[in-house]
Amino acid sequence: AQSVTQLDSQVPVFEEAPVELRCNYSSSVSVYLFWYVQYPNQGLQLLLKYLSGSTLVESINGFEAEFNKSQTSFHLRKPSVHISDTAEYFCAVRLTGGGNKLTFGTGTQLKVEL
């Protein structure tokens, strides 16, 4: 069975500073990788995904994540955060071999401060 680890439950950061949210996964077979964001009192939104091809994927709001197969990681980064990035971020995996079950990490609360 696959699993996802997000070691940081909370990450405080000042506005305009860079941030990295860590995600490691465990799976005996290949997976698709996702980052979801949940803004306060809202539902989950897909931020970005890795399916195949380039290991570096980007979102429209400046976040990027890099798939590292050897380290089984999919860390999320942004070079300069904004107050509006304050949210809960969930990393998730799904097996490539069929089925649609998403396995989520426990989430990282990103709090951007002035």
Partner 1 sequence: SAVISQKPSRDICQRGTSLTIQCQVDSQVTMMFWYRQQPGQSLTLIATANQGSEATYESGFVIDKFPISRPNLTFSTLTVSNMSPEDSSIYLCSVVGRGSYNEQFFGPGTRLTVL
Residues that bind partner 1 (CB under 8 A): 32, 36, 42-46, 49, 51, 90, 94, 100-102, 104-107
Count of CB atoms situated within 10 Å of the CB of 11 = 16
Minimum distance of partner 1 from residue 28's CB (angstroms): 18
Closer by beta carbon to partner 1, 43 or else 69: 43
Residue 22 Cα distances to 39, 60, 91, 100, 114, angstroms: 18, 20, 9, 23, 23
Nearer Cβ to partner 1 (46/83): 46
Least distance (Å) from partner 1 to the CB of residue 69? 18
| Residue at token pair 């570096």 | 56
